[in-house]
């Protein structure tokens, strides 16, 4: 039974590939699957793009119906597209004094403004129209003040978000470094030595991850308050480190298992101590695993919400709970929330991008051994 009626590919095959994959029908199938893939990617990316647009919208535009999705900047790329002639009631084009048609913005276009992007970083106070006028003439105002003044608000100081973003960086960064470092040492020991009760220990380590955070937050809250680490950086770093440790031990053990012992043994007979062999031979080869583990630990610690909400209030509060509470300040400030969300994405994206080569190798690591 012939699967293909046609007699072969349209052009000569000059690469190493299986017969059925170069067949015209297979290639057509590939094209269809590519299109489906691209569509799926667009669907997945849509929320991110939408949030990114929201950052630059005015407060009414964020909730406008129908939604506005074409950015309009004066004399910008899409400005011609966004303008249409205004019509009179009778349907004729409205003309101004010089006989030129009067233009108005299409309803799907929004004005690009920076008030949301800037507003995130400052505490603001609403002004009366008179106050607004008074401040408009003040030559001491900076560019940020002027942007917000247009909205009738005055900057009174930096917002909490700046501090909380910094908290997130410190807590997530430090706990990631610590959990990868400790995890590496533990994984090396588990991989190389005959530790008594090894399977039980490994299972115990994994089991710390099995409880949902919600279940342990109350006891943790009580313990933390007693110990005086409630709402402290140390407390949060400790918590995230321990929580990530199970993950990093297991993941890194897999990677270290893949590094043949012979390398260390060669270093040992070459005159190095165990620690030197670890540092000079094992560590450079575990880079892939370390990179992959770092990204995963960072993503967890960076995104963690429940613990932070319950175990911090102000000093050590991280960004995720504060983004959620931003909306409480005088109505829904979608642009500000969007700005916070976008900013929040950046560190993980940067780290993942920086380590992408190692990640790709990490995914296929161990699949093929020479």
Interacting residues with other proteins (CB under 8 A): 260, 262-263, 265-273, 276, 280-281, 284-285
Instruction: Write the DSSP symbol of residue 58.
Output: -
- In angstroms, the CA 111 to CA 240 distance is 42
What minimum distance in Å lies between the beta carbon of 292 and other proteins? 17
What minimum distance in Å lies between the beta carbon of 280 and other proteins? 8
- In angstroms, the CA 176 to CA 303 distance is 12
- In angstroms, the CA 174 to CA 167 distance is 10
- In angstroms, the CA 69 to CA 17 distance is 44
DSSP H or E stretch at residue 257: helix 233-257
- For other proteins, the closer of residues 55 and 281 by Cβ is 281
What minimum distance in Å lies between the beta carbon of 270 and other proteins? 4
Return the closest-CA partner of residue 321 out of 206, 171, 177: 171
What minimum distance in Å lies between the beta carbon of 295 and other proteins? 21
- For other proteins, the closer of residues 197 and 271 by Cβ is 271
What minimum distance in Å lies between the beta carbon of 288 and other proteins? 11
Judge whether 191 and 255 are in contact, CB under 8 Å. no
- For other proteins, the closer of residues 96 and 270 by Cβ is 270
SS3 6: coil
- For other proteins, the closer of residues 149 and 291 by Cβ is 291
Say how many C-beta atoms besides its own lie within 10 A of residue 289's C-beta. Answer: 28
What minimum distance in Å lies between the beta carbon of 363 and other proteins? 19
Strand 109-111 relative to strand 103-105, pairing: unpaired
- For other proteins, the closer of residues 11 and 364 by Cβ is 364
Tokens of 62: 């964020």
Say how many C-beta atoms besides its own lie within 10 A of residue 162's C-beta. Answer: 12
- For other proteins, the closer of residues 263 and 300 by Cβ is 263
Strand 83-85 relative to strand 70-72, pairing: unpaired
- For other proteins, the closer of residues 286 and 335 by Cβ is 286
Half-sphere exposure of 334 (CA within 13 A, CB side): 14
Judge whether 96 and 102 are in contact, CB under 8 Å. yes
- In angstroms, the CA 236 to CA 173 distance is 11
Judge whether 141 and 155 are in contact, CB under 8 Å. no
- For other proteins, the closer of residues 65 and 275 by Cβ is 275
What minimum distance in Å lies between the beta carbon of 176 and other proteins? 24
What minimum distance in Å lies between the beta carbon of 289 and other proteins? 14
What minimum distance in Å lies between the beta carbon of 81 and other proteins? 54
Judge whether 193 and 253 are in contact, CB under 8 Å. no
- For other proteins, the closer of residues 147 and 281 by Cβ is 281
Tokens of 132: 């607004």
């Amino acid at each position: 039974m012939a699967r293909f009626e046609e007699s072969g590919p349209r052009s000569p095959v000059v690469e190493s590939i299986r017969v059925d994959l170069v067949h015209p029908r297979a290639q057509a199938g590939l094209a269809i699957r590519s299109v489906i893939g691209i569509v799926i990617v667009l669907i997945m990316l849509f929320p991110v793009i939408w949030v990114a647009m929201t950052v630059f919208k005015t407060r009414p535009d964020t909730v406008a119906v129908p939604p506005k999705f074409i950015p309009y900047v004066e004399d910008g790329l899409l400005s011609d597209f966004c303008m249409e002639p205004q019509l009179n009631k009778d349907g004729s084009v409205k003309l101004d004094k010089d006989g030129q048609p009067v233009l108005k913005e299409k309803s799907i276009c929004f004005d690009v403004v920076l008030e949301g992007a800037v507003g995130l970083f400052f505490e603001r106070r609403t002004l009366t129209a008179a106050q607004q006028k008074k401040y408009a003439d003040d030559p001491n105002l900076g560019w940020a003040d002027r942007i917000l003044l247009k909205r009738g608000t005055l900057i009174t100081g930096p917002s909490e978000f700046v501090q909380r973003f910094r908290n997130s960086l410190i807590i997530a960064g430090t706990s990631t470094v610590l959990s990868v470092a400790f995890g590496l040492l533990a994984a090396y020991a588990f991989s190389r030595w005959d530790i008594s009760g090894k399977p039980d220990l490994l299972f115990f380590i994994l089991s710390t991850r099995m409880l949902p955070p919600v279940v342990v937050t109350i006891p943790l809250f009580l313990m933390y308050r007693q110990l005086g680490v409630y709402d402290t950086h140390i407390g949060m770093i400790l918590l995230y480190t321990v929580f990530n440790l199970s993950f990093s031990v297991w993941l890194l053990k897999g990677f270290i298992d893949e590094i043949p012992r012979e390398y260390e043994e060669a270093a040992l007979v070459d005159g190095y101590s165990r620690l030197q062999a670890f540092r000079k031979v094992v560590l450079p080869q575990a880079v892939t695993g370390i990179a992959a583990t770092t990204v995963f630990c960072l993503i967890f610690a960076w995104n963690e919400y429940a613990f932070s909400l319950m175990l911090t209030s102000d000093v050590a509060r991280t960004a995720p709970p504060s983004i959620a509470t931003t909306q409480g300040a005088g109505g829904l400030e979608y642009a500000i929330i969007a700005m916070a969300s976008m900013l929040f994405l950046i560190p993980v994206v940067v780290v993942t991008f920086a380590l992408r080569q190692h990640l790709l190798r990490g995914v296929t690591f161990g699949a093929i051994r020479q």
